[in-house]
Amino acid sequence: MTEQGYLLLGLTAIVAALSGILAFAAAKFVTAARAVAKDARKGGSETAFMAAAMEDAIVKLRTKERAMKQRAEASERLSGEIIVSMTSGLLVVGEDGVVRTLNPAGRRLLGLPDADWTANYREVLGESGSVHRAAWPTADPAALVLDEIELPVQVNGKVRDRVTVPADAPESEIVAAALALPNVVAHTEGKTVRKVVVVPGKLVSVVVG
């Protein structure tokens, strides 16, 4: 073979080698491109899933927050109703000396009007006419006098009724009122009243036979 033949054969081999290298590189590039596209699609799906999960978690947290807020408000309302309805006085003072709670019974005990008493407890107590500072009440003898009295009425030793008469009623009026009671009449009807005893301020005893 001539020198030109060898040269041509060498060139052909070089071209074939370069073509193979280019084909291999192109195949690698296509494979890599497909892998990148697949990863991108997979990453997009994962990103969308994570975004949806995050949004759902935020919605649940907001729902729980609203529920907790509603429970706290309901508990606060109930506590307020309990404090207002208490028959004993309640005065709550914070660390700063400011009155936090003063229920109606506490205001009555301290002689305070219905107002906002959110102030320093010294000011609140200084404005009050507290019962511990009040003078001892003076008894009114007239208030101890009863206008009417109630007496149990016995028939043969058993209480059958009660009679209400003026406190200063004479014995004859008390006896007449006692014998006129329906339940006393029911237990004395058809019988002879032997005796009626009036114990002043205590009872009326009817003896029948």
Together in a domain, 67 and 126 = no
pLDDT average, residue stretch 11-30: 60
| pLDDT at res. 130 | 52
Pairing of strands 203-208, 148-155: parallel
Q: Which two tokens stand for residue 152?
A: 């149990």
43 inside domain: yes
pLDDT beyond 50 at 81: yes
56 inside domain: yes
172 inside domain: yes
Together in a domain, 154 and 202 = yes
Together in a domain, 153 and 178 = yes
- 188 in Cβ contact with 170 (< 8 Å): no
197 inside domain: yes
Together in a domain, 2 and 43 = yes
| pLDDT at res. 16 | 60
Structural domain boundaries, residue 178: 145-208
CA dihedral sign of residues 199, 205, 206, 209:
negative
By residue count, the chain amounts to 209
- 195 in Cβ contact with 207 (< 8 Å): yes
182-190: long-range contacts (C-beta < 8 A, 24 or more apart)?
184/153, 184/155, 184/160, 186/160, 187/155, 187/156, 187/160, 188/155
Helix (H) or strand (E) holding 81: helix 3-85
| pLDDT at res. 2 | 47
140 inside domain: no
| pLDDT at res. 1 | 45
139 inside domain: no
Together in a domain, 32 and 72 = yes
**CB-based burial, 163-199: b 16+ in 10 Å, e otherwise:** bebeeebeeeebbebbbebeebeebbeeeeeeebebe
Most trustworthy range by pLDDT among 88-97, 120-129, 151-160:
151-160
Together in a domain, 73 and 149 = no
pLDDT beyond 50 at 6: no
Together in a domain, 105 and 159 = no
Predicted TM-score (pTM) of the model is 0.36
44 inside domain: yes
Domain end position, chosen among 133, 167, 198: 133
Query: Which residue would you say has higher pLDDT here, 76 or 164?
Result: 164
Together in a domain, 26 and 76 = yes
| pLDDT at res. 165 | 94
pLDDT tens-digit readout, 149-172 = 999 999 999 999 999 999 999 999
Number of domains in the chain: 3
pLDDT average, residue stretch 191-205: 93
